[in-house]
Chain A
């Protein structure tokens, strides 16, 4: 199975250099998607002489993930692993996804308290997981973890519409609707930047979307 890493980024000049060095060590092909960065990120990438898929304007994480996935699948890859470029996810967990993809169509990364997830985020995450479990009958312990993988077949079935942070939740809901074989793998997490990620406003937006998906999907 040909697997590629897809890494969307937005204003990540601080972490991108280390990320590129680390991702190269994995020997896996990778696709970087610049989601309209306004900082020096693109120059950091150029320094490494890597071709990047560039969004001229910032569309959001979901849209960038979609671009990366479509690029990878159009190049003949059978599966992709999504990873955040801010150094939050460890490459040492990558083999878990590669291994799980042999038996499952979609693999969700799962962070836990032992790995340093802040309490508020942990509780918010648990609430979201329970809500989705009640509404859609699927329990994914870490609904919002961006570290996940899926096959090309699964992508065709779960092709999401969310352009922002609701993408992870939509992916979970669509995967259960499509009856995909899924599993979770535990992943380590390092919180380097408290400002980034899903804010309270994003969370309310996602909640509104969940209601919409319950009606529509």
Chain B
């Protein structure tokens, strides 16, 4: 029998597929990206419905319960994604700042030419 927690996880995964589709329609994600995200979320649904298929990993990594391993993996994933997103944002901020400043300074170059 599927537990409430599993139902919530499945609903969440479908909502995420829906969001991915919206962004695909808006043109934010390309064909490869929507395919990848769909594979990821459907794989997540499959694991949620049949958790026993990853029980072997829990034993390998010495987790007593499968749920504990899922929580630990979730934390690692969230922290890794946050770090990645922070670095990407900082890089973009820097590029944007350089571009805006360069554009502002172009006034001086124009007046020099005149």
Contacts and interface: CB of A to CB of B under 8 A. Distances in A.
B65 interface: no
Given A51-B111, A163-B93, A71 B105 contact: yes
Question: DSSP class of A's interface residues: helix, strand, loop or mixed?
Answer: mixed
Interface residues of B, number: 11
B100 A74 contact: no
Contacts of B100: 55-57, 59, 63
A66 B108 contact: no
A98 B107 CA distance: 27
B104 interface: yes
- Residue from B96, B101, B104 whose CB has the most chain A CB atoms within 10 Å: B104
Interface in B3-36: none
B104 A53 contact: yes
B103 interface: yes
Nearest to A36: B100
B93 A54 contact: no
Contact of A53 (B93, B97, B105): B105
A33 B101 CA distance: 10
Chain B interface, DSSP helix/strand/loop, else mixed: helix
A17 interface: no
A75 interface: yes
B107 A67 contact: no
Contacts of A74: 105, 108
B111 A67 contact: no
Interface-central residue, B93, B96, B101, B111, by most chain A CB under 10 Å: B101
Contacts of A67: 101, 104-105
Interface string B82-110: 00000000000100110011011101100
Nearest to B105: A71
A71 B108 contact: yes
A215 to B, nearest CB: 16
A59 B102 CA distance: 13
Contacts of B108: 53, 71, 74-75
Contacts of A125: none
Contacts of A63: 97, 100-101
8 contacts: A53-B108, A55-B103, A57-B96, A63-B97, A63-B100, A63-B101, A71-B104, A163-B93
Interface of B: 93, 96-97, 100-101, 103-105, 107-108, 111
Closest 9 CB pairs of A and B: A53-B104, A55-B100, A67-B101, A67-B104, A55-B104, A54-B104, A56-B100, A63-B97, A59-B97
Given A53-B105, A59-B97, A63-B100, 15 more contacts: A51-B111, A53-B107, A54-B107, A55-B103, A56-B100, A56-B103, A57-B100, A59-B100, A63-B101, A67-B104, A67-B105, A70-B101, A71-B104, A71-B108, A74-B108
